[in-house]
Amino acid sequence: MRHMPILIAAVCMVAASAAPAQALRDPTRPAATSGKGTGAANAERSGWVLQSVLISPERRYAIINGEVVPLGGSIAGAELIAVTAERVTLRTSQGLRDVHLFPDVVRLGADERNATVKRMVAPNAPKDTKDQGSGSSGMKK
């Protein structure tokens, strides 16, 4: 009986801490698309979704729509003619088509990156520090 208030308080704290956790969004869940022409939606409409690439000195592969396709191989009537780190190029009956690994990501150019990155500059150090050795007060005579 003496520990009953402590037990009730502990149960209430556990129940209260679990409630906000239920409202949190799973960060690994894909974003919901509105269907207004996002890159991922365009990739799905084109029929090809690039999921991964494998680039080594000996070979190049792409995983497109869940299938492993070697360079020069074909998928759904298209030939894989180029594999880079961020995209592949397919030759179709309508012409060349680039399929991006991350269609919603826009890579900044070098000038844009330099403009957005804030650089910290160290304060100017004194030019003549020979009198500031150990045991010295740092004052010039």
For the chain, which domains are there?
39-105 (2.30.30.830)
Give dist(CA 102, CA 122) in Å, integer. 37
Res 14: pLDDT:
75
Structure tokens at 92: 């179709």
pTM of the model: 0.48
Dmax (CA) of the chain: 85
pLDDT tens figures, 2-59:
778 888 888 877 777 665 656 677 767 766 554 444 445 544 456 889 999 999 999 9
